[in-house]
Amino acid sequence: MSIEYILRDAALNAQNSFKGKSFNIGYCDLNILPEEKRAFYTDEGLDRRCDAFEKIRDRLLTVRQPSNRIYDYLVSHKNSFLVGNCLLLAIFALQYLKKTHKTTLCQLYYSPDTNISELTSLLTLQLIVTLRPYNHAFALICPPSYTLPKPKAGQIYLPNQFPDDSWVCDPWANIVCPANNYNNQWSIRMREWNFKGKNLYLSRSNSPQDNDYNLSPLGKYAYTIVSRSQTTINELITIYPNGDSKITTHHSSRRCNII
């Protein structure tokens, strides 16, 4: 089983758990959609999805709940009309990887004779969040290393610079790829969504409105998210060769501003 297969499984399970999809994706012209899909994206449909998302946000994110509790809630309600965003999808994917694929990940990344004392960093699953004014979250899987320093919750990555041989799992944008190809895949996805007539509602709460902000996937704050945004490790799951794991976080219990 390859890392790509595992991450695509995590992304698919995250996507399938949200029957109402993501509240912040719409269409500029409903006439381009098949008639059976239009009701989902009308003003009434968008209002219904926003209301459903706000209920989840108020329950899980207004006072940030631990990610394992968020995951357990989403799993127990997956047959209801759940509506998510990039953060909830990324949290689901990370927790799913930990609960479902931890053993396989250990087999992929640790050899039977791995000497943990010689490693400078262990296998980690990272919840990555962009810094203002950008507004996105995704999962990053970083292999153990004999040279790279140990990652820490709260650590900041420069734009489009991630650890060697790491992989991105971004269920919101439906991207699974090596991290060094993420910007290219993101650009392709935004051009594809623009061609399909999609709108993205990516303004960040509690941030001043920028006159350059617009709803286009090719807009300043959508198309350049990967290439220009600094990111931080919001949550870090360290997986040891024996299968044990440890979670450290940088988020607080204050209101979450990733919408």
pLDDT tens-digit profile of 101-146?
A: 999 999 999 988 888 888 999 999 999 999 988 999 999 999 999 8
What is the pTM (predicted TM-score) of this model? 0.92
Q: Contact 163/142 with Cβ under 8 angstroms?
A: yes
Do the domain assignments include residue 92? yes
Do the domain assignments include residue 258? no
Coil, strand, or helix at residue 111? Answer: coil
- Calpha distance 207→188 (Å, rounded): 27
Tokens 């919750």 correspond to 153
Do the domain assignments include residue 216? yes
Do the domain assignments include residue 254? no
Do the domain assignments include residue 259? no
Q: With bands split at pLDDT 50, 70 and 90, how would you rate the model's confidence at 211?
A: low
Q: Identify the CA nearest to 48 among candidates 4, 80, 94.
A: 80
Output the average pLDDT for the chain: 91
Alpha-helical runs (H) found in the chain: 3-16, 35-41, 43-60, 67-76, 86-109, 182-195, 220-223, 225-228
Q: Contact 258/87 with Cβ under 8 angstroms?
A: yes
Q: With bands split at pLDDT 50, 70 and 90, how would you rate the model's confidence at 257?
A: very low
Question: Is the confidence at residue 206, as pLDDT, over 60?
Answer: no
Dump pLDDT digits (tens) for 12-33: 999 999 999 998 999 989 999 9
Count up the domains in the chain and report the number: 1
Mean pLDDT within 85-95: 97
Do the domain assignments include residue 98? yes
Q: What is the 3-state secondary structure (H, E, C) of 181-224?
A: HHHHHHHHHHHHHHHCCEEECCCCCCCCCCCCCCCCCCCHHHHC
Do the domain assignments include residue 256? no
Dump pLDDT digits (tens) for 185-196: 999 999 999 999
Do the domain assignments include residue 255? no
- Calpha distance 41→49 (Å, rounded): 9
Give the tokens for residue 232: 């931080």
Q: Contact 253/63 with Cβ under 8 angstroms?
A: yes
- Calpha distance 80→129 (Å, rounded): 27
Tokens 């010689």 correspond to 118
Q: With bands split at pLDDT 50, 70 and 90, how would you rate the model's confidence at 250?
A: confident
Q: Which residue range forms the structural domain that includes residue 62?
A: 3-249
Weakest-pLDDT range from 47-51, 62-66, 202-206: 202-206
DSSP-derived pairing of the beta strands 137-142 and 167-170: antiparallel
> Cis ω on the peptide bond leading into residue 133 (within 30° of 0)?
yes
Q: Contact 125/239 with Cβ under 8 angstroms?
A: yes
User: Which of 223-254 are b and which e, b meaning 16 or more Cβ less than 10 Å from the residue's Cβ?
Assistant: bbbbeebebbbbbbbbbebeeebebebebeee
Question: Is the confidence at residue 69, as pLDDT, over 80?
Answer: yes
Q: How many CB atoms lie within 10 A of CB 206?
A: 8
Give the tokens for residue 170: 């971004």
